[in-house]
């Protein structure tokens, strides 16, 4: 098959969309299919990368002014259309509802190519970046899963229009499938999570519990990382040897550093900034527990990465974590935004080293279901059925 992926975010930016696009493209190319990626160059210099069965066109771009991590592509439309037409794609797969994603749908429709569209991100919650509070130094922008307000309503309406232009919409979890159906997506929906290369995340050797907590992700206002820092302050009262590592960068980092300072935690909280993806696996294995308070993870690939590495997960009981984290088996869930419940669940994990070891082993086993080879094969089968459907 000839397959094209369009994504408005890609390396050097690092997030779940980037990992998903890379894994699906690489695995399909390795299986003998011809694959093209149209992704941003994250600069004004366009480049082309040629690999076996895989070509990556990096389109000149500038940072998207509203949502950090997404680029506003500046493509040569005539050249792009010619490249697509000459490639004769069987499937066009869209990963982002921004410039490249929109162009992918337009060109696919012109050429009568089947369109697959993955719902990776709850962009309606990104409306927090339009808040006038961003202009106030130190102001905290609150984001919750129970979205409200005119901007969120408009964002959902635009998303529904965009995804209904597809022949097939892929939801990474059942709860996201139900959510987008409720919002009005009428296109056929298929639930399929994004996969990981299991070989990149070997399980750590389970030894003495060191009470080392890690959070990895983009430090955006919507990620609620302040909940983790506040909870850690109380956890440290019970376990003085505990440490917290925060890996990642983003617009909320300065506020989070100030929060750690104000709670007297800077000797125990380490901000690493952006960590290269090839170093993430080793970083997980240096810790005991992965923690996230994010209220809008559609899949949360970092949860699976951590569990593959043998780390139980403490996560907010919203969206994807409700399907991934099995209470008392591979981690614990706490009520969204509830610091005390986060503390309670972490202490429950820490107080029984034998139980902790069992959860660490179970974490690896449960995450092995997200093998990118298995999931890409399912995606390719779906592609083939769709491409031959009249």
**What is the C-alpha to C-alpha distance for residues 383 and 319, in angstroms, rounded to an integer?**
26
Q: In what order do the strands lie in the sheet with 331-334?
A: 269-273, 243-247, 212-216, 289-292, 313-316, 331-334
Residues 112 and 222 in one domain: no
The whole-model pTM stands at: 0.89
Distance of CA 252 to the CA centre of its chain: 17
Contact 189, 181 (CB under 8 A): yes
Please tell me the total count of domains within the chain: 2
**What is the C-alpha to C-alpha distance for residues 93 and 116, in angstroms, rounded to an integer?**
5
Residues 82 and 212 in one domain: no
**What is the C-alpha to C-alpha distance for residues 160 and 123, in angstroms, rounded to an integer?**
11
Residues 213 and 300 in one domain: yes
The pLDDT of residue 300 is 87
**What is the C-alpha to C-alpha distance for residues 18 and 31, in angstroms, rounded to an integer?**
20
The pLDDT of residue 155 is 85
CATH number for 186: 3.40.50.2000
The pLDDT of residue 153 is 85
**What is the C-alpha to C-alpha distance for residues 265 and 233, in angstroms, rounded to an integer?**
7
Contact 123, 97 (CB under 8 A): yes
Residues 243 and 178 in one domain: no
Residues 334 and 378 in one domain: no
Distances (CA, A) of 255 to 91, 126, 208, 219: 43, 18, 33, 10
Residues 275 and 375 in one domain: no
**What is the C-alpha to C-alpha distance for residues 328 and 330, in angstroms, rounded to an integer?**
6
Residues 171 and 242 in one domain: no
**What is the C-alpha to C-alpha distance for residues 166 and 382, in angstroms, rounded to an integer?**
14
The pLDDT of residue 221 is 84
Per-position pLDDT tens, the chain of length 390: 999 999 999 998 888 899 999 999 999 999 999 999 999 998 999 999 999 999 999 999 998 776 666 789 999 999 999 999 999 999 999 999 999 999 999 999 999 999 999 999 887 665 555 555 554 555 555 555 555 577 788 888 999 999 999 999 999 999 999 999 999 999 999 999 999 999 999 999 888 899 999 999 989 888 999 999 999 999 999 999 999 999 999 889 999 999 999 999 989 999 999 999 899 999 999 999 999 999 989 988 999 999 999 999 999 999 999 999 999 999 999 999 999 999 999 999 999 999 999 999 999 999 999 999 999 999 999 999 999 986
Range of the domain at 242: 198-369
Residues 261 and 283 in one domain: yes
């Amino acid at each position: 098959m000839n397959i094209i992926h369009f994504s408005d975010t890609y390396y050097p930016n690092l997030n779940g969309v980037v990992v998903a696009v890379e894994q699906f493209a690489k695995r399909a190319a390795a299986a003998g299919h011809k694959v093209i990626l149209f992704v941003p160059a994250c600069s004004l210099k366009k480049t082309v990368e040629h690999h076996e069965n895989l070509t990556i066109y990096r389109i000149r771009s500038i940072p998207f002014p509203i949502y950090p991590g997404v680029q506003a592509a500046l493509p040569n439309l005539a050249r792009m259309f010619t490249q697509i037409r000459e490639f004769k794609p069987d499937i066009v797969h869209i990963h982002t509802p921004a410039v490249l994603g929109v162009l992918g749908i337009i060109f696919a429709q012109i050429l009568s190519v089947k369109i697959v569209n993955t719902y990776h991100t709850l962009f309606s919650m990104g409306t927090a970046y339009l808040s006038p509070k961003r202009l106030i130094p130190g102001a905290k922008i609150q984001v919750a899963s129970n979205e409200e307000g005119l901007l969120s309503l408009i964002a959902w309406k635009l998303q529904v229009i965009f995804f209904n232009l597809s022949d097939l919409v892929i939801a990474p979890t059942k709860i996201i499938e139900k959510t987008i159906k409720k919002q009005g997506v009428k296109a056929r929906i298929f639930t399929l999570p994004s996969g990981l290369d299991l070989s990149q995340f070997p399980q750590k050797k389970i030894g003495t519990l060191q009470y080392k907590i890690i959070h990895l992700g983009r430090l955006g206002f919507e990620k609620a990382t302040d909940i983790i820092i506040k909870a850690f302050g109380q956890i440290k009262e019970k376990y003085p040897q505990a440490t917290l590592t925060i890996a990642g960068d983003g617009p909320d980092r300065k506020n989070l550093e100030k929060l750690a300072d104000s709670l007297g935690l800077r000797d125990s909280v380490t901000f690493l900034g952006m960590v290269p993806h090839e170093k993430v696996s080793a970083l997980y294995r240096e810790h005991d527990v992965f923690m996230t308070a994010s209220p809008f993870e559609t899949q949360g690939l970092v949860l699976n990465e951590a569990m593959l590495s043998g780390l139980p997960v403490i996560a907010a009981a919203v969206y994807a974590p409700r399907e991934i984290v099995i209470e008392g088996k591979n981690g614990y869930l706490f009520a969204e935004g509830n610091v005390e419940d986060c503390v309670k669940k972490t202490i429950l994990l820490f107080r029984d080293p034998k139980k902790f070891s069992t959860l660490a082993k179970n974490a690896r086993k449960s995450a092995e279901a997200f093998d990118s080879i298995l999931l890409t094969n399912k995606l390719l089968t779906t592609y083939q059925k769709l491409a031959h459907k009249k």
